[in-house]
Amino acid sequence: MSLRAHIAILLLSIGTLVFILRLVRRHRLRAKYSVLWVSLGVVLAIVASAPSLLETFSDAIGVKTPALTFLLMAITFLLVLSLHFSWELSRLEDRSRGLAEEIALLRQRVDATELHDLADEQAEAELTLPFESVPFVAGDDDQRVRDEWRAQPREHAREPQQQGAAEPGQRA
Amino acid sequence: MRTEAVELSDTTPTPVRPRRAGAGAALVIIPAFNEAESLPWVLEELRTERPDLDVVVVSDGSVDETAAVARHAGVPVLELPFNLGIGGALRTGFRYAVEYGYDAAVQFDADGQHDPRTIDRLLDAVADGADLVIGSRFMEGGYPTYKISKLRRLAMRGLERTVMRLVGRRFTDTSSGYRGFSRRMLEYFARMYPVEYMDSVESLVIAVNGGFELREVPCGIRGRSGGAPSTRGWKLGYYYVRLLVVLLTSYTRPRHREVSRAAATNVPTSAGVAR
């Protein structure tokens, strides 16, 4: 490799390093990935500054062209990396699926609780209101007045139902 | 999205809380993805034929009125925020069943292809000690015939053979969507039900490997009342290959790996999560 190529690679690797460090500093990159990329930048810088290392390594593994060794390393690295990302994605999907299920179960629980509180309120209203509001009439007419009162349309008893029925819709 | 619930629910009292009945109580789990059309009469039929059974609808990210329709019928709804596929919907149902302490459950289709009058065949087998009961479309005693295309039939045959080789016994219908589960099976599946397509086949292999008792009972189906098979053509081929990979790996997967995966999902069970 020519000197100019080395300088170019060196500059590139230093640029990468600086960029990664900036990302980490701004909390845009998780530390676990930063280690990966920082070490890549360092390896690049070493290879660029001391090309003889690459040649020695190529000889050791029996590859004639150092550039091919470099490519081989790069491709291996990328393959492993994308495999790792697939793994990470699967894990994330598992977790978001779990969360979605949890949300469905919880939402049902909330719906059930709200509706049953509502039903309890209604039952209470049905039980207490008639007796409190029936005008008191002594004697035999008592029962008849109560029946009449019960037969009347009751606006106030309906109120909680309408309010409550609107609730699930409002949350959507 | 749920604004339509307003006008519906004001005509109905909505007992959405499950009965939480203990011993002997069974739950019907209906996974539904955009089934608002068929769901009302499926629920209606279930209620008239089997008023003794609790029902839960899992709306798998439906964008139609599925959830509202179920609520209107007074059935509890598990509404998934986005589509998880049949496996994910089922697992949600299993978790619900386990949480509320049901003793058995039945997987039931939302499109009306299953007859509620045959539910007892599944539940009886569960009561008899089976853990996973498959309502087979191809055993005798069901409805006369169930017709499928040649290619589909061929694919199913191949699948059957693969499964047979893996689990060491023959099932006539590995992909049935009409199944019964025991409490033990529910607890197991609530943690590790396969969430990818063709879940039924993989779950069968998992259940056999887990040492559960499987049984098949004849349950014919009534033919699709609406809609088309969910997958066909090349896509089916792709899923088929994918399934083969899944099956082979799930068969060779060591047991302790499954336990660790289960712990990660963190589902409360009566026995506590294995760690």
**A153, amino acid identity:** P
Question: Distance from B71 to chain A by nearest Cα, in Å?
Answer: 10
Q: What is the ipTM of this complex?
A: 0.74
The chain B residue lying nearest A94, using CA atoms, is B265
Does B17 contact chain A (CB < 8 Å)? yes
3-state SS of A122-167? HHHHHHHHHHHHCCCCCCCHHHHHHHHHHHCCCHHHHHHHHHHHHH
Distance CA(A117)–CA(A119), nearest Å, equals: 5
The chain B residue lying nearest A166, using CA atoms, is B6
Give the per-residue pLDDT at B30.
96
Give the per-residue pLDDT at A117.
78
Q: What pTM value is reported for the model?
A: 0.71
Interface of A with B (CB under 8 A): 94, 97-98, 100-101, 103-105, 107-108, 111-112, 115-116, 119, 161-162, 165-166, 168-169, 171-172
Instruction: Find the DSSP H helices in B50-182.
Output: 66-72, 85-99, 119-127, 150-167
pLDDT, tens digit, 9 for 90 and up, residues A33-71: 778 888 887 887 788 778 788 888 888 888 888 888 889
Query: Is a pLDDT exceeding 50 seen at residue B221?
Result: yes
Cβ atoms of B274 and B189 within 8 Å: the answer is: no
The two tokens of residue A100 are: 């979605």
Name residue, tokens 């081989």: A72
Of B23, B75, B15, the residue nearest B44 (C-alpha): B75
Of residues B99 and B161, more confidence is placed in B99
- Which residues of A are less than 8 Å from B88 in CB distance? 97, 100-101
Q: What is the DSSP string of B47-82?
A: HHH-TTSEEEEEEES-SSSHHHHHHHTT--EEEESS
Query: Is a pLDDT exceeding 70 seen at residue A74?
Result: yes
Cα-based distances in Å from A140 to A130, A144, B170? 18, 8, 79
Give the per-residue pLDDT at B5.
40
Q: Give percent helix, percent strand, percent coil of chain B, each to the nearest 5.
A: 45, 15, 45
Confidence of residue B251 (pLDDT cuts 50, 70, 90): low
